[in-house]
Amino acid sequence: MKVNKIKALAVTVAALGSMAVAPAFAGKTLDAIKARGQVICGVNTGLAGFSAADSAGKWSGMDVDTCRAIAAATLGDAEKIKYVPLTAQQRFTALQSGEIDVLSRNTTFTLTRDASLGLHDTVVTYYDGQGFMVPVKTKIKDAKQLKNQTVCVQSGTTTEKNLTDFSKANGLNIKPVVFEKVEAATAAYFTGRCLAYTTDASGLASVRNKEAKNPAEHVILPQLISKEPLGPMVRRGDDEWFAIVKWVIYGLLEAEEYGVTQANVDQMAASSEDPVVKRLLGNGDDTGKLLGLEKNWMVRAIKTGGNYGEIFERNVGPKSALGLPRGLNNLWNKGGLQYAYPVR
């Protein structure tokens, strides 16, 4: 009897083991993407460093590069993307309705959004926090000096709610001046309709660099009043697509950790003896099969725009126009919070 139980257990374990390496079903979203030959990506209407189009209609930014990596991994071509610019009010409806495949638009992960919108948070691509920008001439040095003052803010955002919470918690009686579109909110601030403007600190740097006649005339106050973990979202109900978006981002992080770059990815795919690198680049276990993708899915993604660190530095890092420090967005082994799940 005991022998039979042991045999049965061995068969079960073997079956589970074989299931672990079986190829995944493609999923309805990936099927639709392959059929149309295009990933439809929801982005910001215009936030320099994250997602913005130039005069020729070419999109760039961290959120855009995330979409490009996803398109490269799934379709083998980073240019096979349709960008759909969305306001804060439009973004969730567009994803829920199927208008877009993925929302990659400086969106904060919160419990309410995760639990009540029919959407999945994927991976944090930028750890941020809400701050304030004021004219230097006001001589304001602390956010608590905004008592009884007007602050421009975009509606339909965590920013608006955080402002209300901060005002109540500190008895400041801040007077929000609310706008549906970020362009209207920033225009109101720069024309003096509000004393201050509030959004994520990265957004403040972007707006100051892009919109201010003289960026030196505006200061971003040092305090952050919230946690804003930003990253892409997908619809619930398609676990295969959720896994693809998630693991592309983890792959970009792991590539940075192991020194795989846009310039050396082909060489490392061919010659690296590091087991982690071999798995990541399809020269070992076929992780692509588990996701319904080609074996070289991460080689394609990395060749598109580099690893996570390269994407950060090019779009928002210290040498970019925004000049943001890496800070919390450093890798975990360099004092930051970015930590990739193992691609294995």
pLDDT in tens, 98-147: 999 999 999 999 999 999 999 999 999 999 999 999 999 999 999 999 99
Domain locations in the chain? 28-127+230-334, 130-226
> Could you report the per-residue pLDDT of 203-225, keeping only the tens digit for each?
999 999 989 999 999 999 999 99
Q: For 59-95, b where at least 16 C-beta lie within 10 A, e where not — what string?
A: bbbbbbbbbbbbbbbbbeebebbebbbbbbebbbebb
Check: CB of residue 196 under 8 Å from CB of residue 149. yes
| The predicted structure's pLDDT at residue 25 | 56
Give the tokens for residue 93: 């409806």
Residue 338 CA, chain-centre distance (Å), reads: 12
Q: For 235-267, b where at least 16 C-beta lie within 10 A, e where not — what string?
A: beebebbbbbbbbbbbbbbbbbbbebbbeebee
Q: Identify the bridge partners of residue 219 per DSSP, sorted by sequence position.
A: 134
Rounded distance between C-alpha atoms, residue 211 and residue 67, angstroms: 25
- Residue 303 is which amino acid? K
The more confident residue out of 95 and 1 is 95
Rounded distance between C-alpha atoms, residue 218 and residue 208, angstroms: 7
> Could you report the per-residue pLDDT of 141-186, keeping only the tens digit for each?
999 999 999 999 999 889 999 999 999 999 999 999 999 988 999 9
> Could you report the per-residue pLDDT of 60-69, keeping only the tens digit for each?
999 999 999 9
Rounded distance between C-alpha atoms, residue 139 and residue 141, angstroms: 6
Burial of 180 (0-12, 13-18, 19+ CB in 10 A): middle
| The predicted structure's pLDDT at residue 10 | 46
Check: CB of residue 240 under 8 Å from CB of residue 171. no
CATH for 130-226 is 3.40.190.10
List helix spans (H) across the chain.
2-20, 28-36, 62-75, 91-96, 111-116, 158-169, 182-190, 201-211, 239-257, 265-271, 275-280, 287-291, 297-305, 308-315
| The predicted structure's pLDDT at residue 2 | 46
How do 150-154 and 196-200 pair as beta strands? parallel
Q: Judge whether residue 6 has pLDDT over 60.
A: no
| The predicted structure's pLDDT at residue 26 | 61
pTM, to two decimals: 0.87
- Residue 138 is which amino acid? T
Mean pLDDT of the chain: 92
Sequence-distant (6+) residues with CB within 8 A of 160 are 153, 154, 176, 178
Q: Judge whether residue 7 has pLDDT over 50.
A: no
Mean pLDDT of 254-266: 98
Look at the block and give the residue holding tokens 């004219």: 135
Mean pLDDT of 71-86: 98
CATH for 28-127+230-334 is 3.40.190.10
Q: Tell me how far CA of residue 83 lies from CA of 71, 205, 217, in angstroms.
A: 12, 23, 34
Q: Judge whether residue 17 has pLDDT over 50.
A: no
Q: Phi and psi (nearest 5°) for 53?
A: -105, 140
